[in-house]
Structure 1
């Protein structure tokens, strides 16, 4: 199979990685709880809900943009076109960024600092396992156009 036809991933890892990170944060909080000052209980809850809403909105905007351009949303399918509009103008990975923002929001809602730690772990693993492979796939499919896009748009934020 040539590089042009190569799929970016064999399995859609990112949702699984973030789901496992969220479950790990919940489990770690039970086993090794980190004390948190409870000050104003509604402020972190409201901030967390706002971040989760932002994350969902970002993800939906990215999915709509991909569907409007008639390319795949699934990370283990071949891209049919390079999408640089919508949220992809600001970040090359808006859906994964949305997952990360949701992790921070859940950490604030539950007052569980492990969500922040596991969010960082999920970002690192997603970059190693998925993002680099997806970028190689896009480079092989779109060449100079993808290189130019990378120079002007950051990977995360």
Structure 2
């Protein structure tokens, strides 16, 4: 049996990364502040946070309606290609990045913005690649067709 068929991962990396990098940004800012201040930063940050939460809720609702898991370490029972998944194969991870950047803009903490690419890279290598192998093992040609139509991130 293909190891990826049962589950993509044993550890739910994306939410752990989000929490870990958020705490890291706060701690780093206390040790060595990196100010992020410009006109309109807070409203832009609030807009990004609202957009991120909206995408997350939309994606969660879409997954729930498809009767499949939202947890990144559980087996997917259905290939979801509707809702925000029409625009990105990983809309929740895109939302996580928007949330991190938004928190940085609202709090004037530049560490959030500096750690956003770290979140993207770690998410890609720890979660996305394994999830893609899981979906390919479970949905084969259907998943390959979806990949040709929809970008991985945006």
State whether TM-score is above 0.5: yes
| Structure 1 Cα separation of the partners of residues 25 and 107 of structure 2 | 11
Q: Show the counterpart of 2:18.
A: 18
Aligned counterpart for 1:45 among listed residues 42, 45, 66 = 42
Matches within 5 A, 1:54-65: 54-65=51-62
Alignment correspondent of 1:89: 86
SS in 2 for 1:143: helix
Structure 2 residue runs of 5 or longer lacking an equivalent are: none
Q: CA RMSD in A?
A: 1.4
2:102 paired residue number:
105
Q: How far apart, in 2, do the equivalents of 1:5 and 1:137 lie? A: 5
Secondary structure, aligned partner of 2:84: helix
Q: Give the 3-state SS of the residue equivalent to 2:6 in structure 1.
A: coil
**Whole-angstrom CA distance in 2 between matches of 1:23 and 1:3:** 33
* Structure 2 counterpart of 1:74, from 68, 71, 79: 71
**Superposed displacement of residue 2, structure 1:** 3.5
Gaps of at least 5 residues in structure 1 are none
Q: Using the TM superposition, give the Cα deviation of residue 23 of structure 1 relative to its aligned residue in structure 2, in angstroms.
A: 0.9
Q: Distance in 1 between matches of 2:10 and 2:64?
A: 21
Cα distance in 1 for residues equivalent to 2:58 and 2:49: 14
Deviation per CA, 1:100-156, whole angstroms, max 9, x where unpaired?
100010010011111011111011001100110000000000011111111111111
Relative distance call for 1:33 and 1:136 in structure 2 (3 A) is same
Partner Cα separation in structure 2 for residue 3 and residue 141 of structure 1: 11
Change (3 A) 1:48 1:136: same
